[in-house]
Amino acid sequence: MAADFLNNLKLFLFIQKSNIKTAFQNKTDAFVNVLMMLINNLAFFFMWWVIFEYKDNNINGWGIGEMALLYMSINNAFAGFALFARGVQTLPEYIDNGTLDNYITTPRNPLFMIATSESTFANWGDYLTGFIAFFISGYLSITSFFTMLAISFLGFILMSSYRLIMSSLAFFIKDSQRLGDNIFMAFITFSSQPASIFTTGWYKVLFLTIIPAGFISFYPVELIKNFNWSDLAVLSGGTFIFFFIATRFFYFGLRHYASGNKFGVR
């Protein structure tokens, strides 16, 4: 198992190196794309700054500092997904046109190969946005910095897992790409709102189960504001549960996959 992990790690690093080389074939274009992503994100954050100023910097106990932490969490999670696991979003297309055969006939882990098959270099701008938001949040410290790195990784795993669940619907529902995209965008939209407005009643249940936005917004913010092991355990446990469900659902669907008629070498 250790040997498989090392081999996959080497392959992962090779793929990322290749993606960066491809992106930098036109350096100007690469930097412009990253810069435009950063500007777009900061413009959206500026909108929230105006809202908080209008609301006397308080929405159910949240201020602009908490919103900056939320912005850090969701941007870092999405950047990780877009850079390192974007292929799961293309899974329905692979299933519908039969090119999934190219991945399941290789000796490598098919889910790993699918996840790393797509990457968007411009999303490094999301990482830059996340780090800028963290540094201006007012919660910067040595402890919070390492907490930020940990929750960014967990957010990446959770977001990729949720997208994988939505994409795996394509094994059972024809032309489900739009359905998966819409549900995933609902997840992103919920995650982008101040978590303080979803902390009571059935909203909270929805916020942590069907659309688990609370694991991207509420718990990461609370952990940086006031680190405690119980919140970290909830966040880690929730992430593991969704990762387990996503991988099991993918392989369950794979057993029902009818091979296409397109073959190639990858």
Q: Are 209 and 202 in contact (CB under 8 A)?
A: no
Q: Kindly report, residue by residue over 61-78, the tens digit of the pLDDT.
A: 788 899 999 999 999 999
| Whether 149 contacts 105, CB under 8 Å | no
Q: What pLDDT score does 84 carry? A: 92
Quote the pLDDT of residue 266. 46
Domain ranges in the chain are 27-254
Length, in residues, of the chain: 266
pLDDT recorded at residue 264? 47
Q: Comparing C-alpha atoms, which of 126, 10, 4, 111 is closest to residue 74?
A: 126
Round to whole Å and give the CA distance between 43 and 131: 15
The predicted-structure confidence for 84-101, as pLDDT tens digits, reads as follows 999 999 999 999 888 898
pLDDT-above-90 percentage for the chain: 49
Choose between 204 and 156: higher pLDDT. Answer: 156
pLDDT at 200 (0 to 100): 62
Strand partners, 59: 62
Block residue for tokens 């029902």: 256
Q: What angle do CA 9, 15, 20 make, to 5 degrees?
A: 125
Q: Average pLDDT, stretch 227-239?
A: 94
Chain centre to alpha carbon of residue 109:
21
pLDDT band at 52 (very low <50, low <70, confident <90, very high): confident
Q: Is the pLDDT of residue 189 over 80?
A: yes
Question: 100-132: string of b/e by CB count within 10 Å (b at 16+)?
Answer: bbbbeeeeeebbbbbbbbbbbbbbbbbbbbbbb
pLDDT at 261: 45
* Nearest by Cα to 232 from 134, 155, 126: 155
Burial environment of residue 253 by CB neighbours within 10 A (0 to 12, 13 to 18, 19 or more): middle
CA atoms within 13 A on the CB side of 14: 7
- Could you identify the residue written with the tokens 């950047």? 79
The span from the CA of 208 to the CA of 264, in Å, is 41
Contacts 24+ apart (CB under 8 A), 194-199: 194/59, 194/60, 194/62, 194/66, 194/67, 194/70, 195/62, 195/70, 195/221, 196/59, 196/60, 196/61, 196/62, 196/66, 197/59, 197/60, 199/60
Name the pLDDT band for 263 (thresholds 50, 70, 90). very low
Chain segment 136-187, per-residue pLDDT in tens = 999 999 999 999 999 999 999 999 999 999 999 999 988 888 888 999 998 8
* Each residue's pLDDT tens digit, 111-131: 999 999 888 888 999 999 999
Q: Are 116 and 15 in contact (CB under 8 A)?
A: yes
- Mean pLDDT value of segment 219-244: 94
pTM of the model: 0.88
